[in-house]
Amino acid sequence: MTGLAGVTGRPVPPGSGWPGDPATPATPAATDAAGARALAAEAMAAGSLGELTARQSVCRACPRLVAWREEVAAVKRASARTQQYWGRPVPGWGDERARVLILGLAPAAHGGNRTGRIFTGDRSGDVLFASLHRCGLAAIPTSTAAGDGQRLTGARMVAAVRCAPPANKPSVTERDTCAPWLAAEFALVAPTVKVIVCLGGFAWQAAWPMLQSAGFALPRPRPKFGHGSEAALAAPGTGPAFTVPLGGKALDAPAGAGGPGGGQVLLLGCYHPSQQNTFTGRVTPAMLDEVFRRACRAAGIGGAA
């Protein structure tokens, strides 16, 4: 969303018309870690991805990140002075019956924190969505703004941490506070997910507690992250009890969630398409294509599994 009409230095009010805003003024907002756990668990138990993402998008559980995301939204980048910034947590987005789950680190201060959609409006997203489009997972090769016509097919994007952190570095406490949102979202999409692509080592590490909460037995030692790293995990045998991590009480799996269908989930490592990584050639468009083509094959998208 661009332009001067209605532009403020404050975050977008829930339910005020921002494209794709899942929340309404009545959406409950967590104000601490216990609140995030409780609200995530409730939405998960209700089996409502829409309510879960709505609650994610108004969360205020991490004081440092709330202050940072709102300061960035108020000060803005010089080239975006005339734009309204989202300034709220960036919820999961994409296909509700995804076969490929793409797990990132956190929204960028002037990317997702500006546009309200993960990997949208920044250089990382330019490279990532171009690859996803080439591989048949994204409707168009660009992702510039909420409401731009972009659509994910067979894929869903989530972040380990939903608020833009200073210097792109969330603290351990912030990562753990946000983990219940991730675990609950995974629980709701797990019945269809076959492949999880982790963009960067932080996402790779965040995937383990997410998988554990869904009942997966984790390999020991844990496979190391690298570009092209793979780890196949057998799906939980029977009716896993999804748990909200970090002290949350165990809950029955949401309706229809019996763990990923088809027996296993493949974890795939991919270097993060950050500006630094793409400028230095550490990760190239061809390398991203290779990972996402592998993900599509393993997920049975566009051909044989």
Please give the residue ranges that form the binding site for ligand SF4 (CB under 6 A).
Answer: 36, 56, 59-62, 65-66, 89, 161-163, 174, 177-178, 181
Instruction: Kindly state the smallest distance separating residue 143's Cβ from ligand SF4, in Å.
Output: 21
Q: What is the residue type of 162?
A: R
Instruction: Kindly state the smallest distance separating residue 165's Cβ from ligand SF4, in Å.
Output: 8
Instruction: Kindly state the smallest distance separating residue 106's Cβ from ligand SF4, in Å.
Output: 7
Q: Report the residue number, 180 or 215, with the smaller CB distance to ligand SF4.
A: 180
Instruction: Kindly state the smallest distance separating residue 179's Cβ from ligand SF4, in Å.
Output: 8
Structure tokens at 146: 């909420």
Can you tell me the distance from the alpha carbon of 31 to that of 140, in angstroms, rounded to the nearest whole number?
Answer: 37
Q: Report the residue number, 85 or 271, with the smaller CB distance to ligand SF4.
A: 85
Instruction: Kindly state the smallest distance separating residue 36's Cβ from ligand SF4, in Å.
Output: 5
Angle between helices 123-134 and 285-299 in degrees, nearest 10: 50
Q: Report the residue number, 186 or 292, with the smaller CB distance to ligand SF4.
A: 186
- C-beta separation of 31 from 174 below 8 A: no
In 10 A of CB 224, how many CB atoms?
10
Instruction: Kindly state the smallest distance separating residue 186's Cβ from ligand SF4, in Å.
Output: 15
Q: Report the residue number, 150 or 177, with the smaller CB distance to ligand SF4.
A: 177
Query: Which string of DSSP letters, residue by residue, matches 45-102?
Result: HTT-HHHHHHHHTT----HHHHHHHHHHHHH--GGGTTSPP--S----EE-TT-SEEE
Q: Whose structure tokens read 């870690």?
A: 33
Cβ within 8 Å of residue 78, ≥6 positions away = none
Cβ within 8 Å of residue 181, ≥6 positions away = 36, 40, 52, 55, 56, 59, 162
Q: Report the residue number, 159 or 270, with the smaller CB distance to ligand SF4.
A: 159
Q: Report the residue number, 82 or 173, with the smaller CB distance to ligand SF4.
A: 173
Sheet holding 264-270, edge to edge: 93-94, 155-159, 100-104, 195-199, 264-270, 230-234
Instruction: Kindly state the smallest distance separating residue 133's Cβ from ligand SF4, in Å.
Output: 28
Instruction: Kindly state the smallest distance separating residue 65's Cβ from ligand SF4, in Å.
Output: 5
Please report how many Cα atoms fall inside a 13 Å half-sphere around the Cα of residue 305, on the Cβ side.
Answer: 12
Q: Report the residue number, 199 or 295, with the smaller CB distance to ligand SF4.
A: 199
Q: Report the residue number, 93 or 271, with the smaller CB distance to ligand SF4.
A: 93
Per DSSP, the chain holds a count of helices (H) and strands (E) of 9, 6
Query: β-pairing, 230-234 with 93-94?
Result: unpaired
